[in-house]
Amino acid sequence: MLKIGIMGSTGYAGEELIRILLRHPEVKISVLSAKIERPQNIQGLFPWLSGRLDLPCEDLSPEKIEKNCDLVFLALPHKVSMEVAPIFLEANKKVIDLSADYRLRDPAVYEKSYNTKHKTSKYIKEAVYGLPEVYREKIKKARLIANPGCYPTGIILGCLPPLEKGLLESFIICDSKSGVSGAGRCPAPGLMLGELENSFKAYKVNVHQHASEIEQELNNFSKSPVNLVFVPHLVPMKRGILSTIYLRTKSKVSTEEALEIYRKFYKRESFIRILNKDILPDTKFVAHTNYCDIGIRAFPDIKILIVITAIDNLMKGASGQAVQNMNIMCGFEETLGLL
Amino acid sequence: MLKIGIMGSTGYAGEELIRILLRHPEVKISVLSAKIERPQNIQGLFPWLSGRLDLPCEDLSPEKIEKNCDLVFLALPHKVSMEVAPIFLEANKKVIDLSADYRLRDPAVYEKSYNTKHKTSKYIKEAVYGLPEVYREKIKKARLIANPGCYPTGIILGCLPPLEKGLLESFIICDSKSGVSGAGRCPAPGLMLGELENSFKAYKVNVHQHASEIEQELNNFSKSPVNLVFVPHLVPMKRGILSTIYLRTKSKVSTEEALEIYRKFYKRESFIRILNKDILPDTKFVAHTNYCDIGIRAFPDIKILIVITAIDNLMKGASGQAVQNMNIMCGFEETLGLL
Amino acid sequence: MLKIGIMGSTGYAGEELIRILLRHPEVKISVLSAKIERPQNIQGLFPWLSGRLDLPCEDLSPEKIEKNCDLVFLALPHKVSMEVAPIFLEANKKVIDLSADYRLRDPAVYEKSYNTKHKTSKYIKEAVYGLPEVYREKIKKARLIANPGCYPTGIILGCLPPLEKGLLESFIICDSKSGVSGAGRCPAPGLMLGELENSFKAYKVNVHQHASEIEQELNNFSKSPVNLVFVPHLVPMKRGILSTIYLRTKSKVSTEEALEIYRKFYKRESFIRILNKDILPDTKFVAHTNYCDIGIRAFPDIKILIVITAIDNLMKGASGQAVQNMNIMCGFEETLGLL
Amino acid sequence: MLKIGIMGSTGYAGEELIRILLRHPEVKISVLSAKIERPQNIQGLFPWLSGRLDLPCEDLSPEKIEKNCDLVFLALPHKVSMEVAPIFLEANKKVIDLSADYRLRDPAVYEKSYNTKHKTSKYIKEAVYGLPEVYREKIKKARLIANPGCYPTGIILGCLPPLEKGLLESFIICDSKSGVSGAGRCPAPGLMLGELENSFKAYKVNVHQHASEIEQELNNFSKSPVNLVFVPHLVPMKRGILSTIYLRTKSKVSTEEALEIYRKFYKRESFIRILNKDILPDTKFVAHTNYCDIGIRAFPDIKILIVITAIDNLMKGASGQAVQNMNIMCGFEETLGLL
């Protein structure tokens, strides 16, 4: 049994990791840490765990955690992960970092996106961007996984097939909508139920920090630089991200042709579902699952391809994908604990 | 035009006061105060006010507020009101206090319920409990109104008619359910939308601080002391309180007889609606209104009378009732601004 | 007092009309009709009206309704309005039609969009498209108003200022999100609360019937034909539409310049609010109001202008705008009953 | 592998059965039936099943279903089950009936509660009431399980321990609150999201059909007849039932004593969690699980015991309990597929 540590156990991603790992036959959660004032049994923090997991949770140093686990998930805020990840790596532990700290290849881009200097940039080089559909082979050999952001996951998976084939014009417009859990569990006025009645809004219009991550990955696959426009919105529900992606194609492409391209690209993937023409993605179809559903509508007359992707932001957009990465790194079946 | 000041403008009760007073033809909001870090136009805090109210909001001393108003609403936390109310009274201004500070006649009961000594208890005597259906004549002459709590309003109005007639046994069980705005706007983990999915729960089971207020008022009308059991619950919605009240009658009472008693008791009231037998109260019927809807089902065989009351906790349960009190105190038509 | 009839009183638009007209000082609701099995007091259908409106509602012929009103609102399904509107017109009554039946100038476009031949197309010519910000002068003299659709209202108002100035490239991408009341009150599986948990989805991707209405109006103001891409989505909340509109400008336009253009264009309008740079539209800011809020973010480097508009689909998107049109037609102050 | 048939596959209980059984290692869903117009793959009805279950669903006769399964779940409306259950029994198949048809021992009570004569009352005698915590031994040998109602499950489990010990006075007041999925998936005006904003209400006040089921089971354990008062309410959320139960004790009982009684009574139960004094049940703690959480607060001075129970109405209140019963009947581990 692989021994697992979780730093940041009390956030949404941490809680979801616990939920998934409890059903995973090859691992055992051995140590839980979180920034809490006094040690507490995890059942006191998450009463739904009563009778299912009996483990203390406390504010532990990375050194203490490291001794009790083979692999650690860092479900920490940006800027905190980069301070602790190296400690685990140097102790020869596998690290899956759910923050943004090792996602961007270029420290200067990181600094611009997150307003802070990267303190352990020498580790960026060995970090692997944990999108299995793209980097599976590298993930197998990785020690440090930079688990993708929630918005980037759904958007990159939605754009790659036609982009990689060189079918697209440079402008890519992504209109994304996320449930509130994407903003984390930390109390904030705008996330209270009383403030969200009949409330739907855009935020960080084309200035969201995930844009650079999306651009980096799309440009990896595109001959000419991509022009990304990215507008995220907040939906008054707990989980799910739906991204409506507006692509212009260089030549006329029909829905059937587009579907064929996507099906081929993802034909060996367990967690990508290309939906038939008679149905459209809905975040509820992927809620609590690790699937990314993709729906496609082409309008060849105006050379427009509309791609809609849906994920559960806490699963394929965070903890589910993290476990998928763990499975790949550790030689487990990729879907273990995730179906 | 009566000049109105509001202390605590940024909470739910304060916001609701602004909403109501903007439609009131006899008053003008002249000064807004709140515990905020820097002065800000109220439109910046409540963008829905754009084009409707152009007024600064800042953290003002009672002395400054007093100079600019004839009447002040204190939409302040418990324990804060009692420190500022006297300042207004001594400046000869009318005060409507939405906190609990002057509701309890006995300072010892206040101390027990709110864990603090009452600092200005000499003003309790002149405070009038602002339930117009009961104390209208006193309200007319009052300078200081103790505006009733949200739970007490619905429960007292639901119990009084048969209680006053001496029809009830002493046990009164009140099972109340409130939307989240009852807990105020201050960010708290348990009130976030992400925490309230499929969440319904009881809290402060029979130890809620409103119990002493309910008991005080019911005992005023009852020959023998009332035995109150009061359990509040949290509903995952913004506004509304529904109270299901289980009463035992000394003799058999039919639904028709009970309806007759209630209709008679409230026959001159503008804001009490006794519902017909074919319909039951629903918080949505009273949302954004100052009504208290009352539904009644009697089971004479077992001498049980079930009374269900619904109010909007921010209206009849707070700001609507406060304005109703203002209307009475100032000689305006009682329903002004409230229909 | 102007006597008002409402056909389709029991749908969301009908209910909202009642709500607004009850506060309107110059009119009196005199007759209510709806497709219901047996006559019923409107209070039985809408218990929130108890004590506020005492009027029967029944399935009346247009002839009967016409005799009891000066002006009629048709809150009817598409295809039904065109059968009854002429009866009112011929009896010399004013008609405000909330359906799509008289919005499209070209009967062939109507036929294509709504899959039915227009039966009374000779009245199309005299119908005025009821968007006061554009057609106020014509509305003053109109007998028949084609009240705009909910999506078109927010989108047209968001596009007009730069379009009319010739600043835009032909492609206009509108990503709209609507609360469920836009789909009407008729029970449908997909609109049940139990089906909408964590549910967000697109529907009628670029094939929604409102597209032709939007194109018609935008093309009226554009020198070159507009290429509209329109994708509506369903938000799990009751009311509100937010449209995120992606415009490409021919030359570089800054946010300040764009704001200036919008402010100038709408400077005399009571119901258009151009938001400052530090705030973005939120459907909750316009809920229960007749406002259309507009937020703007320009990205001159890539010549992209993102315009975000928010309306309450039942107010500015339906009944509020209908009353605004009534006010204009009847010489009342335009904001009467709407503030 | 046990072959499973499900009648009523498209309702909430049927869908939940599919969800659970897909994770169950000892069974295989072999036939799905539902009242639908034309045969359809179950993935078309529940897109979340894409890639997980590939099976047709059609309107099959019991005879056809029976040939393809060893055990059948009847997730059918009341009155339908009693017509088909005998067909399976006579073909020697095990039957778990989620309807009310075989729950009431006395056909006259059934007739009164459900307004219909029982057509196959001779099978009532061999039906076992499927509450494992009470009837486990009988369930082991049963061919026909009458799976308990959702409200009765939570209420009976909450009352039994002190009732069986003879500690209670006869009056038992149950104030229950249910999410909307309890009303089924069939479209109804009152269950639409647009109708449930700020909506909380009671319904069937003390006349709900589940009352007779609760009374039957409580009276089995009580020396003197129980006087039940039962008021159900509708919560604007999808799943979960919380019941607040007001019990009067004959003598003074403290919270500690009560907790001890409950812990002892349920000490071998896997799905009953008696919560500590510092926490109260919340429907979200049991959502998507088969647990029944029980919280207790005693007020010895007034001899009141308040018991609060929470279940997921689709799990312990329906399909989860049905699978628990299957496990017991078939000799599987009782928690299989349910943790």
pLDDT digits (tens, 9 = 90+) for A91-101: 999 999 999 99
Q: Which token pair is C323?
A: 């009353």
In chain A, the residue whose alpha carbon lies closest to the alpha carbon of D45 is A279
pLDDT at A279: 95
Query: Could you give the residue ranges of the DSSP H alpha helices within D269-308?
Result: 283-286
Residue B151 structure tokens:
């739970």
Please tell me the predicted confidence (pLDDT) of residue A285: 98
CB contact under 8 A, D196 and C193: yes
Name the one residue in this structure whose structure tokens are 């009751």: C238
DSSP string, D180-199: GGGG-SS--GGGBGGG-TT-
3-class secondary-structure state, position A50: coil
Q: What is the DSSP letter of B282?
A: B
| Catalytic annotation, pick one of B57, B69, B150, B292 | B150
Q: In angstroms, rounded to a whole number, what is the distance separating the alpha carbons of residues C196 and C215? A: 31
CA distance D283 to C35: 40
Instruction: Please give the pLDDT value at position A302.
Output: 96
CA-derived radius of gyration, chain D: 20
What are chain B's partners, defined as 3 or more CB pairs within 8 angstroms? A, C, D
Q: Six-digit token pair at B295?
A: 């539904």
- The alpha carbon of residue A56 is apart from the nearest alpha carbon of chain D, in Å, by 17
Q: C240 contacts in A (CB within 8 Å)? A: 198-200
Dihedral of CA atoms B309, B315, B317, B322 in degrees, nearest 10, equals: -140
For residue A89, the model assigns a pLDDT of 97
User: Over the stretch D94-103, which tens digit does the pLDDT of each residue have?
Assistant: 999 999 999 9
Please answer yes or no on whether A284 and C196 come within 8 Å at the CB atom: yes
**Nearest chain D residue to C179, by CA:** D194
- Shortest alpha-carbon distance between residue D335 and chain A (Å): 12
Closest approach of B149 to chain A, Cα-based (Å): 19
The 10 Å Cβ neighbour count of residue C244 is 24
Q: Which two tokens mark A320?
A: 């589910």
Q: What is the mean pLDDT of residues C288-309?
A: 98
The three-class DSSP label of residue D138 is helix
D287: which chain B residues are within 8 Å (Cβ-Cβ)? Answer: 197-198
Q: Does the annotation count B186 as an active-site position?
A: no
CA-CA distance, A47 to A44, in Å (whole number)? 6
Give the pairing of strands C27-33 and D144-146. unpaired
Spell out which residues of chain B touch residue C44, defining contact as CB-CB under 8 Å: 279
Burial of D143 (0-12, 13-18, 19+ CB in 10 A): middle
Q: By the 8 A CB rule, do A159 and A247 touch?
A: yes
Note whether D50 contacts A273, CB cutoff 8 Å.
yes
Probe site for chain C from D193, D234, D241 (most C CB atoms < 10 A)? D193
CB contacts, 8 Å: B191 with chain A? 187, 192-194
Q: How far apart are CA B212 and CA B225, in angstroms?
A: 13
Most A CBs within 10 A among C174, C191, C200, C304, hence the mutation to make, goes to C200
pLDDT for B96 equals 98
Dump pLDDT digits (tens) for C120-142: 999 999 999 999 999 999 999 99
Buried/exposed A130-160: b ≥16 CB within 10 Å, e otherwise: bbbbbbbeebeebbbbbbbbbbbbbbbbbbb
Kindly state the tokens that stand for A45: 């923090």
Instruction: Give the model's pLDDT for residue D43.
Output: 95
Which residues 6+ apart lie within 8 Å of D154 measured at CB?
D176, D241, D242, D243, D292, D309, D310, D311, D316, D317
Report the residue of B193, B196, B197, B234 to disrupt the A interface, i.e. the one with the largest count of A CBs within 10 Å: B193
C-alpha span between D246 and B306 (Å, rounded)? 14
Q: Cβ separation of B197 and D308 shorter than 8 Å?
A: no
Share above pLDDT 90 across residues of chain C, in percent, rounded to a whole number: 99
Q: How far apart are CA C259 and CA A262, in angstroms?
A: 41
Q: How far apart are CA A274 and CA C12, in angstroms?
A: 37
pLDDT for the residue numbered D263: 98
Question: Residue C327: CB partners within 8 Å, gap ≥ 6?
Answer: C333, C334, C335, C336, C337, C338
Give the CA angle between residues D47, D48, D51 to the nearest 5°: 90
In terms of DSSP bridges, do strands D40-41 and D56-58 run parallel, antiparallel, or are they unpaired? antiparallel
What pLDDT is attached to residue B259?
98
ipTM over cut 0.85:
yes
Residues from chain D that touch B177, judged by Cβ atoms under 8 A, are: 177, 200, 233
What's CA C247's distance to the chain center, in Å?
Answer: 22
What residue spans of chain A are helical by DSSP H? 12-22, 42-45, 62-67, 81-90, 107-114, 132-141, 150-164, 210-221, 255-265, 283-286, 320-330
- Model confidence at D127, pLDDT cuts 50, 70, 90, reads very high
Please answer whether residues A309 and A243 qualify as being in contact, where contact means their C-beta atoms are separated by less than 8 angstroms.
yes
Would you state the pLDDT for residue A173? 98
Instruction: Provide residues of A within 8 Å CB-CB of chain D.
Output: 44, 47-48, 50-52, 197-198, 270, 273, 275, 279, 282, 284-289, 291, 293, 339
Kindly give the confidence (pLDDT) of every residue in chain A, 339 residues in length, as a single tens digit, with 9 standing for 90 and above: 999 999 999 999 999 999 999 999 999 999 999 999 999 999 999 999 999 999 999 999 999 999 999 999 999 999 999 999 999 999 999 999 999 999 999 999 999 999 999 999 999 999 999 999 999 999 999 999 999 999 999 999 999 999 999 999 999 999 999 999 999 999 999 999 999 999 999 999 999 999 999 999 999 999 999 999 999 999 999 999 999 999 999 999 999 999 999 999 999 999 999 999 999 999 999 999 999 999 999 999 999 999 999 999 999 999 999 999 999 999 999 999 998
Nearest CB among D44, D52, D273 relative to A50 is that of D273
Euclidean distance between CA atoms C42 and C10, whole angstroms: 9
Q: What is the pTM of this model?
A: 0.97
